[in-house]
Amino acid sequence: MIPGVLTVAGSDSGGGAGIQADLKTMLALGVHGMSVVTAVTAQNSLGVQGAWELPVEAVRAQYRSVVDDIGVRAVKTGMLASAELVEAVAELISGTDAPAVVDPVGVSKHGDALLAASALDSVRTKLLPVATVATPNLDEVAQIAGVRVESEGELRRAAEALLAYGPRWVLIKGGHLPGDAVDLLTDGSEEHWLRAPRHDNRHTHGTGCTLASAIASQLAKGQSVPEAVAAAKEYVTGAVAAGFALGGGIGPVDHGWRFRAAPER
């Protein structure tokens, strides 16, 4: 049976991030992708031109439709836009017997807000406590926990600060630091350092969505959290290496890199 994975996230009309990145990642990793749309963005390689959130009843109804009939082996969350949506999604996840990967999305690659400032407290007190794995980048660590990381040595302090909100595991993504792309995965007792060479490629739109969806896909296939994160990092590193120009700005990672013939990779 093909395991089902559900993303609860925003739509990126440009197809590089959000729901579109999540579903492409799930296809590439051999699971059945399903989606609960929380918001619609008008977006391209240059930025976000507009964003509209869905009513909370529309989000609840989509979730129930999928979970009650089809069932899910893992859930991933991305853009949740408002405090009301964050709280509704946290409640839905807490009643679902499947691991949840929470990508606490704050702003887009271009700096556009994808979460209201008034929703931060709900992320801290409602959403992070129901996460199996939370995957903040360093901007999100600063926004959520007020911890500023400027070197690899400070990643552990960021992880401790995030774990205090209650996720089982935290993956602190150090990709914005200079040098190798280094992430720290920990549950407070085990530490796993994941290191990948930095690819000199500006076409990285969708990296965070892709990583979180890849983790959820691997969990749905039965891997442990450390195995799932290692496999997801390998997939996203290949996708970043193969990222391509699209439009006049920042292009997307290539979700299909493993499908292409070797000379095209």
Q: Would you name the residues annotated as active-site residues?
A: 173, 204, 206-209
CB of 108 to ligand PXL, least distance (A): 3
CB of 137 to ligand PXL, least distance (A): 9
Identity of the residue, 43 or 132, whose beta carbon is nearer to ligand PXL in the bound complex: 43
Identity of the residue, 108 or 122, whose beta carbon is nearer to ligand PXL in the bound complex: 108
Identity of the residue, 188 or 247, whose beta carbon is nearer to ligand PXL in the bound complex: 247
Beta carbons of 214 and 235 less than 8 angstroms apart: yes
Q: Which residues bind ligand PXL (CB under 6 A)?
A: 9-10, 12, 17-18, 41, 43, 78-79, 105, 108-109, 114, 208-209
CB of 21 to ligand PXL, least distance (A): 8
